[in-house]
Homo-oligomer: A and B are copies of this chain.
């Protein structure tokens, strides 16, 4: 029998989806499972977007241009320029989700063995994209104690070698929800200019900033045009994850010309999704205001509930719809699996994403868990009750650093 490649064998599995078989089994047993493990919001997709799908008017479902429909790209330029990005149509092309934009960026800017520095915890699939591209991720540890703020620039500098080609941030951050400040971005700018590095920013959560915090992008910084690459997606913005539509933005001409060769090879992004997303650009600010009020209330409730549980610590993040909290457990992966396999309260349980999968430093984040507040407040409240009960019952529970089990 022909062999699997080492590349395939060692390809990292998604930590967000890998507990799915246990969740499926729990459901087969009749348990209700609250899904806080995945960034699939329950928020309704804007009506204009749904209607655009229903009102399609074509007889041939054709390829679009590899860089995306011209009319959609024009609308995107409008959208980003309202946000102060100051881009033109040549600076942007449409991708199949932000995922594709990231893979293209890695291959456009980096050769085999080159390095990208990413504050950890980071979105787990970056590991997969880097692995597919033969790029090495050098993590810089951010700390739950500071709410996962940008680590000191000196920590980044320690990781820089002649193979370092880029710094990569996700802002607002998945998994931590941390929103980078203008000052933090300015520090990254100085670093990138000093060492001639690209600055990659995944901005899939850009519309979700709370408590009157303003969103800043590296695109707002002067003198960094040749260094900045932005990856975005309509998945979260319009609660349209199933559209699989993102984009790639840079003012660096050579980068975009090279990246377009990768875009051409896969022919084009989806046509109906582009028609719908073009309509979505006119979504009124009131939609986002309503959604942000909803997410803020959920976050407040989640953070408050978590911090009330004995031994749990959860920072209060400024954006996205995730928190990473610390739990008094021996191993959060075991705990999450146990909740699906062994535990139920009132025939209910909760699925969450163990944080270790978001770290690349071995052993880091073993007592942390990512929770996505993508359910309505009632479900979220029930999930929190479940979680609190589970923590009291869990055999691997530790309080004040000590395991009850070990004591017994």
Residues of A within 8 A of B (CB): 1-9, 11-14, 17, 38, 40-45, 49-50, 53-56, 58-64, 66, 96-97, 99-100, 107-112, 114, 125, 128-129, 132, 134, 165-166, 196-198, 226-227, 238-244, 252, 254-255, 258-259, 261-262, 264-273, 276
Contacts and interface: CB of A to CB of B under 8 A. Distances in A.
B8 A239 contact: no
Contact of A270 (B5, B63, B125, B243): B243
B240 A1 contact: no
Nearest to A242: B271
B5 A109 contact: yes
B196 A61 contact: no
Given A196-B2, A242-B63, A267-B99, A107 B132 contact: yes
Give the interface SS of chain A, mostly helix, strand, loop or mixed. loop
Q: Which of A7, A42, A64, A259 has the most CB of B within 10 A?
A: A7
Contact of A53 (B14, B240, B272): B272
Given A96-B244, A196-B1, A59 B40 contact: no
Closest 9 CB pairs of A and B: A242-B271, A128-B265, A8-B258, A14-B264, A8-B108, A61-B240, A63-B241, A1-B226, A45-B61
A267 B12 contact: no
20 contacts: A3-B109, A4-B108, A4-B255, A7-B107, A7-B110, A8-B109, A13-B264, A14-B264, A45-B59, A45-B61, A49-B61, A62-B241, A64-B242, A125-B267, A132-B265, A241-B267, A242-B270, A244-B268, A244-B269, A270-B273
A255 to B, nearest CB: 7
A242 B268 contact: yes
A166 B6 CA distance: 16
B112 A112 contact: yes
Q: Give the copy number.
A: 2
Contacts of A265: 11, 14, 99, 125, 128-129, 132
A166 B4 CA distance: 12
Contacts of A242: 61-64, 268, 270-272
Contacts of A56: 50, 53-54
Contacts of A100: 266
B261 A12 contact: yes
A266 B97 contact: yes
Nearest to A1: B226
B198 A239 contact: no
A272 to B, nearest CB: 6
A241 B60 CA distance: 9
Nearest to A126: B265
Nearest to A132: B107
A264 B99 CA distance: 11
A128 B108 CA distance: 13
Contacts of A60: 41-45, 239
A308 B308 CA distance: 85
Nearest to A195: B2
A264 B56 CA distance: 30
Contacts of A6: 111
Contact of A61 (B4, B243, B266): B243
